């Protein structure tokens, strides 16, 4: 064996020793379990009282006696002074709320006892009636005679018509055996005990709901009296509950189950009494955690109001519950329909516009004339005459129609018309003899001036000076062209 192999063996031994030590330390620490594992019950006993001992217990009798006593008193909300925990009835409410949990466990035990004993007579009934209380009531009604399924009014109040029909058909073909008188008496005793425990549980629920209306009215409105009593009992009172943050209130009553060898996927982590309340369970599963956080936050506010005995009529509780329901409705609204939007306008940059006389002239030359504008204009609600008489849709529009009120000529735009300076106008008159009205003489210049007469001639035929020169006469030198820098060229 080499040195490397010896080193690896030593490391493995050290690792095993560390694992063994940590395992021993973990075993010494007590495991925290809110929900204890179900103990194996011995259901082979002859009587139900050997396994169900809550009905005959002293604690059960004392709590029910106190409940009946406080129901007869009917205390008022004005009588509660100081902390709620100081009231003697508060402890009775907490004990009664804890008693309902024990009654539920006792009913499950009795249901298993009846199911095992009655499977000898009708083994298929367990799969046909899954509800525990309905199963117990059906067993008590049928007994040994399965023919009672047909036309039984009491059974119709327990099961639906479809279930009764299936039970009656199955009972006619069952392979069960008749029960003895002793076995039938034990079954009836167990059924009576289960029904009485169920009635006591409903009695406790009614009492808790009636008394929570003045101990914590706002909290009871939001999550119900039963759930409010549960979280108050776990928190240690209404005062302690009002001091807790919402994240901790949501975890009150959380169940942590550690079963070796079994899957823990069915156990929901971080879910307590609020998560399992009716207001949260009414939502779809994907919204329940979010709803539990919202309800826990509102319960914190309601508990703080109740701890100071404010809003005894429950006004704050109703407002908080309305806010919760509005948010629940908002969460469950369908998403808005996605509309098809047109493409946005392209972000083209501004085109560079050219100015100047040349550009204005080009616009005047290429722009629409008034004739073309009238031809393009159409009258609404009138049949146009086809210009080519071939039904091609070419019409003359308003062109040539009476009532247009315009002369068919090109309209000159005064804003874009080219302008000539006065100096250039004077030079043009002296050079070619044309131009607008002379501002100095006050009359138009349509012919060149007559030098002898110092102005235009009134009679061109009688004036020889204004006659055109002969071919042999020397021609006068024309005036010089204005300088490029002259003001005459400026527009």
pLDDT-based confidence at residue 322 (cuts at 50, 70, 90): very high
DSSP string across 217-254? HHHHHHH-HHHHHHHHHHHTSHHHHHHS-HHHHTTTT-
Residue 104 lies in a domain: no
Of 142, 141, 105, 149, the residue nearest 121 (C-alpha): 142
Domain count, the chain: 1
Residue 153 lies in a domain: no
Residue 109 lies in a domain: no
Give the three-class secondary structure for 450: strand
Residue 366 lies in a domain: no
Pinpoint the alpha helices (H) of 407-459: 422-432
Stretch among 116-125, 288-297, 381-390, 400-409 having the lowest mean pLDDT: 400-409
pTM of the model as a whole: 0.51
**Residues for the chain: how many in total?**
491
Summarize pLDDT for 33-78 with one digit per residue, the tens.
344 444 455 555 568 888 888 888 888 899 888 888 888 876 665 5
Higher pLDDT, 104 or 389: 104
pLDDT-based confidence at residue 317 (cuts at 50, 70, 90): very high
Q: Give the residue numbers spanning the domain of 228.
A: 216-259+269-335
**What is the structure's pLDDT at 75?**
62
Q: Is the dihedral of CA 49, 53, 55, 56 positive or negative?
A: positive
**What is the structure's pLDDT at 396?**
79
Residue 27 lies in a domain: no
**What is the structure's pLDDT at 456?**
52
Residue 287 lies in a domain: yes
The fraction of the chain above a pLDDT of 70, given in percent, is 68
pLDDT-based confidence at residue 352 (cuts at 50, 70, 90): confident
On the 0-12 / 13-18 / 19+ scale of CB atoms within 10 A, 65 is exposed
Stretch among 52-56, 80-84, 154-158, 238-242 having the lowest mean pLDDT: 80-84
On the 0-12 / 13-18 / 19+ scale of CB atoms within 10 A, 136 is buried
Residue 135 lies in a domain: no
**What CATH number did the domain enclosing 247 receive?**
1.10.246.90
Residue 233 lies in a domain: yes
């Amino acid at each position: 064996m080499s040195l490397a192999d010896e080193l690896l063996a030593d490391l493995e031994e050290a690792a095993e020793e560390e694992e063994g030590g940590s395992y021993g330390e973990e075993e010494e620490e007590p495991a925290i379990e809110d929900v204890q594992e179900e103990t194996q019950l011995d259901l082979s006993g002859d009587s139900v009282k050997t396994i169900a001992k809550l009905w005959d217990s002293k604690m059960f009798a004392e709590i029910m006696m106190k409940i009946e006593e406080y129901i007869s008193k009917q205390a008022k909300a004005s009588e509660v002074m100081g902390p709620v925990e100081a009231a003697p009835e508060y402890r009775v409410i907490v004990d009664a709320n804890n008693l309902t949990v024990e009654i539920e466990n006792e009913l499950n035990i009795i249901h298993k006892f009846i199911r095992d004993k009655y499977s000898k007579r009708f083994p298929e009934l367990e799969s046909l009636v899954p509800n525990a209380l309905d199963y117990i009531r059906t067993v008590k009604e049928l007994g040994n005679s399965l023919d009672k399924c047909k036309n039984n009014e009491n059974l119709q109040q327990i099961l639906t018509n479809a279930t009764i029909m299936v039970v009656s058909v199955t009972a006619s073909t069952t392979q069960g055996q008749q029960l003895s008188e002793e076995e039938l008496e034990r079954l009836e005793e167990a059924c009576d005990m289960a029904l009485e425990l169920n009635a006591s549980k409903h009695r406790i629920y009614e009492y808790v709901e009636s008394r929570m209306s003045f101990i914590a009215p706002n909290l009871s409105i939001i999550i119900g009296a039963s759930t409010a009593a549960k979280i108050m009992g776990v928190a240690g009172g209404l005062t302690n509950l009002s001091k807790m943050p919402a994240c901790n209130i949501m975890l009150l009553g959380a169940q942590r189950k550690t079963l070796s060898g079994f899957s823990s996927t069915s156990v929901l982590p971080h879910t307590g009494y609020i998560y399992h309340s009716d207001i949260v369970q009414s939502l779809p599963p994907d919204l329940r955690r979010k709803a539990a956080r919202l309800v826990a936050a509102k319960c914190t506010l309601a508990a703080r109001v109740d701890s100071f005995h404010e809003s005894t009529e429950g006004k704050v509780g109703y407002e908080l519950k309305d806010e919760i329901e509005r948010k629940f409705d908002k969460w469950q609204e369908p998403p808005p329909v996605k509309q098809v939007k047109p493409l946005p306008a392209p972000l083209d940059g501004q085109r560079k516009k050219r100015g100047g006389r040349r550009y204005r002239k080009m616009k005047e030359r290429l722009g629409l004339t008034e004739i073309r504008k009238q031809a393009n204009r159409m009258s609404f609600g009138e049949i146009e005459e086809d210009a080519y008489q071939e039904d091609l849709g070419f019409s003359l529009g308003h062109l040539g129609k009476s009532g247009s009120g315009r002369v068919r000529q090109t309209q000159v735009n005064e804003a874009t018309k080219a302008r000539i300076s006065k100096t250039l106008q004077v030079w043009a008159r002296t050079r070619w003899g044309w131009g607008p009205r002379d501002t100095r003489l006050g009359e138009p210049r349509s012919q060149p001036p007559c030098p002898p007469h110092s102005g235009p001639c009134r009679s061109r035929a009688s004036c020889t000076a204004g006659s055109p020169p002969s071919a042999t006469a020397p021609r006068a030198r024309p005036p010089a062209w204005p300088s490029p820098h002259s003001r005459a060229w400026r527009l």
